[in-house]
Structure 1
Amino acid sequence: MPAHLPRVECLVDIDSTACPCCSGALHRIGEDVSERLDVVPAQFRMLVIRRPRYACRACGDAIVQAPMLARLIESGLPTDALIAQVLVSKYADRLPLYRQAQIFARQGVSLDRSTLADWVGHAAFLLRPVHERLLETLVHGQAVCRRDHGTGARAGPRPHQDRPALGVCARRPALGRDGSARRRLRVRARPHSRRPIAHLCGFVGVLQVDGYAAYESLAKGGAVRLAYCWSHVRRPQTPNNDDAPQPSRFQTLPNHND
């Protein structure tokens, strides 16, 4: 087990130090030590914030009080740690909000799914600078890999309507030779929209994608070179009436291992 885990010692000793044979005093000659992995269940708690007010007896006019601590949601119930827990559970652990509401309910905390969704919305608004910085770093790389994943939910009430999708972009240091760490950017989009093109505007380099035809417009200017996976490379070319030459689906990525 990792060394950073706290160790809580539990002593299991005998009831009496008298010898069971002659009733003489027993002395310690050693011990056996074993370790077991334990867990402390998550526990909700209420943070009670007290802000005393002070007044001057001499003049009777001055009243001094510490300012209120900043909150992600003004006058809201959750702390920053609780909002972070909801975000990590939803996006990193893929735990939907309705399931999180069920987990909270088992501990006697009733939180509606709409309330959790409101918290996620506030957090997403405040995380926009991080999103913009990730996008800026992404488009300045020399090679990017993008993949669209369906969310399983429909955008409308009818079955034939488009389903929302999550587009995952990652820089490829092995292709870019910039030595940077791999960075991911998730963008919510609809499959047949121009959203992916808008987010990749200004990118110059190799773009590794699937067979989604919307990416082909990025390669028309010559700044972007599309590279397809072996599964989509066998698909037929999408008909297009434009005079500009269409990018070949049989382009391969450069081998930097040579």
Structure 2
Amino acid sequence: MLSAADLPDDIDALKAMLVASEARNLRKDERIERLEKLVVAFKQAAFGRKSEKSDPDQFELALEDLETAIAAVHAEEEADAPAARRSAKPRAVNRGALPDHLPRIEEVIEPESLTCACGGCLHCIGEDVSERLDIVPAQFRVIVTRRPKYACRSCTDGVMQAPAPARLIPGGLPTEATVAHVLVSKYADHLPLYRQAQIYSRQGVVLDRSTLADWVGRAAFELRPVFDALMADLKRSTKLFMDETRAPVLDPGKRKTKTGYFWALARDDRPWGSEAPLGIAFSYAPGRGGCHAERILQGFGGVLQVDGYAGYNRLLAPDRVGPDIRLAFCWAHARRKLVEITRAGPAPIAEEGVKLVGDLYRIEVEVRGCDPAARLAARQERSAAIIAEVEAWLTHHRARVATKSPLGEALKYIAKYWDGLCLFLTDGRIELDNNTVERTIRPIALNRKNALFAGHDAGAKNWAVIASLIETCKLNAVDPHAWLAATLSAIATGHMQSQVDDLLPWNYPGKV
């Protein structure tokens, strides 16, 4: 803050200071207005009506742009501030933490002189340490393998030479780590092969997209036994989740795409304290009929948690898959239909239903991680009473609400799947909803947005195989690239088929 003594006596200088101050205030007002508009846009993207919202992935992109713009405004404001007014303390931001396993490159910055103004020598009394994240761009290198030939000067018994090392792609350019990088870029980072080829060309490495596709296809073929072992391990479980998502596939004969489906089978038993490894397996099918779920689940007997898709009902026939399959349905889907009604206007009946379902979820939060017996006891003691209230609410209002109305349809949905919705009261392993598997299929949706469609049914099957293994790695805190490189190398060097279970991601020794 300037005092009167700091102001110049010259009138022209005072006018110049006033004009400069007005200009700074005007820029400040403009920045505030821009920030306010950004906040309004953010709130609209996050909390606007469903019809006005972007889909979750588009929302993330919008959020990135908003945060970038806000950071630019802050930087502009800091640059305009006089040096004397700038805070020595940096603005608080979430900078993240740098993990211990990253290599550290130490640099020590010493003063220009260690001689004190009095002539004495300075000695170290401490230090300030800061860490910054540095990135070395991906570096291509060439592995040159030489195999010298040896012969004896005393006889003619022949030439001695070490055998050529086994390779995943005989006579090909890539190492197994290179193939792993292509797979992770395509199926984990959602970079189509033609974009990868463009990235490589900037480093002077010219690889045709079809060459990369050949590597991916060969890797998918070699990894299929590992995928089969993953699927078999999942189906030995006593409880699984299942869901399906669209997989557009090019139909060359008709010059358009057809709609196939990825069926996801997932295991996540952490909510009831099990130490069984997490896993997800995708299976491609040309349609959404329940016959595909039946084919995929052959050999499974246990609890299957699903949404309300009618195709799953055929699994209950004892001669289809097995006599022990039980279907647990999803309270999140039931609640979602009621929430949609409350958003359209005052809806006391739907609001009461939403509250009752919320009471069930609050109990589940308290028992998450407990063993099945403890979860079951809590449910029978507390959740059963709420379910009785829901049943009374459902019976009362179904008799009074028009069947074809949105509320009538929502109540009909709950009544139709009532037995499966209440199954969690009899088994502590069952969850209230199917959200676990819905979360695991999001990467498929992301890849679908980037690749638009699979080029062929066989391509979609390869997509399912590789995506299953990569996502299972991620679920088990395993670096997909490291696992793929090690697994492809093991396969190339003749890993025994009888020991394929050793190659499953959760058996990989290196965890993130």
TM-score by shorter chain over 0.5: yes
* Cα drift, residue 107 of structure 1: 2.0
* Letter in structure 2 aligned against 1:140: R
* Partner Cα separation in structure 1 for residue 190 and residue 230 of structure 2: 21
1:164-204 CA-to-partner distances (Å, cap 9, x unmatched) read 33222112426898641221112222233543322211211
Where 1:163 maps in the other structure, the secondary structure is strand
Say whether 1:254 aligns with 2:424.
Answer: yes
* Cα drift, residue 35 of structure 1: 1.5
Moved more, 86-95 or 188-197: 188-197
Q: Tell me what 1:214 maps to.
A: 311
Say whether 1:154 aligns with 2:322.
Answer: no
* Partner Cα separation in structure 2 for residue 5 and residue 192 of structure 1: 45
Structure 1 residue aligned with 2:302, among 199, 205, 223? 205
Greater strand content: 1
Q: Which has the higher contact order (CA 8 A, sep 6+)?
A: 2
Say whether 1:227 aligns with 2:395.
Answer: no
* Partner Cα separation in structure 1 for residue 424 and residue 250 of structure 2: 39
Aligned 1:69-84 pairs, distance under 5 A: 69-84=165-180
Where 1:164 maps in the other structure, the secondary structure is strand
**Which sections of structure 1, spanning at least 5 residues, go unmatched?**
238-247
* Cα drift, residue 57 of structure 1: 0.5
Moved more, 3-12 or 30-39: 30-39
* Cα drift, residue 219 of structure 1: 1.4
8 Å contact 1:143–1:175 — kept in the other structure? no
* Cα drift, residue 135 of structure 1: 1.3
Where 1:181 maps in the other structure, the secondary structure is coil
Structure 1 residue aligned with 2:146, among 50, 66, 71? 50
Q: Tell me what 1:13 maps to.
A: 110
1:23-48 CA-to-partner distances (Å, cap 9, x unmatched) read x5744424433221111111111111
8 Å contact 2:240–2:266 — kept in the other structure? yes
Q: Tell me what 2:99 maps to.
A: 2
Change in Cα spacing, 1:226 to 1:162, as seen in structure 2 (3 Å) is farther
Where 1:135 maps in the other structure, the secondary structure is helix
- How many residues align? The count is 245
* Partner Cα separation in structure 2 for residue 85 and residue 172 of structure 1: 27
* Cα drift, residue 161 of structure 1: 5.4
* Cα drift, residue 236 of structure 1: 11
* Partner Cα separation in structure 1 for residue 182 and residue 277 of structure 2: 26
Q: Tell me what 2:211 maps to.
A: 115
* Letter in structure 2 aligned against 1:200: L
CA RMSD of aligned residues (A): 3.0
8 Å contact 1:141–1:176 — kept in the other structure? no
Q: Tell me what 1:187 maps to.
A: 283
Where 2:150 maps in the other structure, the secondary structure is strand
Where 1:254 maps in the other structure, the secondary structure is helix
Structure 2 residue aligned with 1:60, among 129, 142, 156? 156
1:120-156 CA-to-partner distances (Å, cap 9, x unmatched) read 11111111221111111111111111121223x3332
* Cα drift, residue 90 of structure 1: 2.1
8 Å contact 2:269–2:278 — kept in the other structure? yes
Moved more, 53-62 or 165-174: 165-174
* Partner Cα separation in structure 2 for residue 206 and residue 165 of structure 1: 22
Q: Tell me what 1:137 maps to.
A: 233
8 Å contact 1:165–1:189 — kept in the other structure? yes
* Letter in structure 2 aligned against 1:227: A
* Partner Cα separation in structure 1 for residue 417 and residue 328 of structure 2: 7
Moved more, 80-89 or 161-170: 161-170
8 Å contact 2:306–2:330 — kept in the other structure? yes
8 Å contact 2:316–2:325 — kept in the other structure? yes
* Partner Cα separation in structure 2 for residue 160 and residue 216 of structure 1: 32
Structure 1 residue aligned with 2:201, among 94, 102, 105? 105
Structure showing greater Rg:
2
* Cα drift, residue 159 of structure 1: 8.4
**Alignment identity in percent?**
46
* Cα drift, residue 112 of structure 1: 2.3
Where 1:72 maps in the other structure, the secondary structure is coil
* Partner Cα separation in structure 1 for residue 236 and residue 262 of structure 2: 21
* Partner Cα separation in structure 2 for residue 203 and residue 176 of structure 1: 20
